[in-house]
Chain A
Amino acid sequence: DVKVTQSSRYLVKRTGEKVFLECVQDMDHENMFWYRQDPGLGLRLIYFSYDVKMKEKGDIPEGYSVSREKKERFSLILESASTNQTSMYLCASSPPGRGGLAGQEQYFGPGTRLTVT
């Protein structure tokens, strides 16, 4: 059974803190993604990675960075958390599609609800 796990289900942080969200997949997938989900906006892509040490910006990368040192692990970093980063964060992985990018269905983790106060 395929599995994507995220380090925390709920997280409360203070403004200005550095925040790490961890994601691990056990499917040997090349592609990994970080989204945030907000009411009325759906899922918006923050960053994705199609290989170890590779990363690409999504639609809303500002205020975030990522790290992919191992194939199975993709970390999202909020360098200095702000209240507008309060959201549900979803990690996903997929096997390569056309050109190695998002041509296949993605498998999602359960999400981390982050609150920044």
Chain B
Amino acid sequence: DQQVKQNSPSLSVQEGRISILNCDYTNSMFDYFLWYKKYPAEGPTFLISISSIKDKNEDGRFTVFLNKSAKHLSLHIVPSQPGDSAVYFCAASANDMRFGAGTRLTVKP
């Protein structure tokens, strides 16, 4: 039972354009959401998070949006850079943490 879903396994965008990665969840008890980035042969690294009491959190080029009524969050990267090419995992936390399957982002020069 996947409580956190990333329905797009891959996304390709041009350098300088916006990347939008999406995530849906089913458990209304989740109250903290995170995005992780993973390069090949490395462990995931924390990117940005948002509490359920907010609907937006911004950190430089990265913005996370939360729509609680739709149980949906998204990560916007603007402008996208080739170094952003990685697998991005969405995660949601209640008493433990659940991860999505990941989306592979490729940013083309």
Closest to A108 in B: B43
Interface residues of A in 73-107 (CB under 8 A from B): 90, 92, 97, 99, 101-103, 105-107
A30-74 vs B, CB cutoff 8 Å, 1 = contact: the mask equals 000101000011111100100000000010000000000000000
Give me the interface of B with A, judged by CB distance under 8 Å. Answer: 2, 4, 6, 9, 32, 34, 36, 41-46, 49, 89, 91, 93, 95-102
Interface residues of A in 1-39 (CB under 8 A from B): 4, 9, 33, 35
Once the chains bind, are A90 and B96 in contact (CB under 8 Å)?
no
Query: Cβ of A92: which chain B residues have Cβ within 8 Å of it?
Result: 43
Once the chains bind, are B44 and A90 in contact (CB under 8 Å)?
yes
Once the chains bind, are A58 and B102 in contact (CB under 8 Å)?
no
CA distance A109 to B43 in the complex (A): 5
Rounded to whole Å, the gap between the CB of B99 and the closest CB of chain A is: 4
Given contacts A40-B9, A40-B101, A41-B101, contact A102 B96 (CB under 8 A): yes
Given contacts A41-B101, A42-B99, A99-B95, contact A90 B34 (CB under 8 A): no
Given contacts A90-B44, A105-B34, A110-B43, contact A42 B100 (CB under 8 A): yes
Rounded to whole Å, the gap between the CB of B70 and the closest CB of chain A is: 21
Once the chains bind, are A43 and B95 in contact (CB under 8 Å)?
no
Rounded to whole Å, the gap between the CB of B67 and the closest CB of chain A is: 21
Query: Cβ of B9: which chain A residues have Cβ within 8 Å of it?
Result: 40
Query: Cβ of B99: which chain A residues have Cβ within 8 Å of it?
Result: 35, 42-44
Once the chains bind, are A108 and B93 in contact (CB under 8 Å)?
no
Rounded to whole Å, the gap between the CB of B97 and the closest CB of chain A is: 4
Once the chains bind, are B46 and A103 in contact (CB under 8 Å)?
no
CA distance A103 to B33 in the complex (A): 9
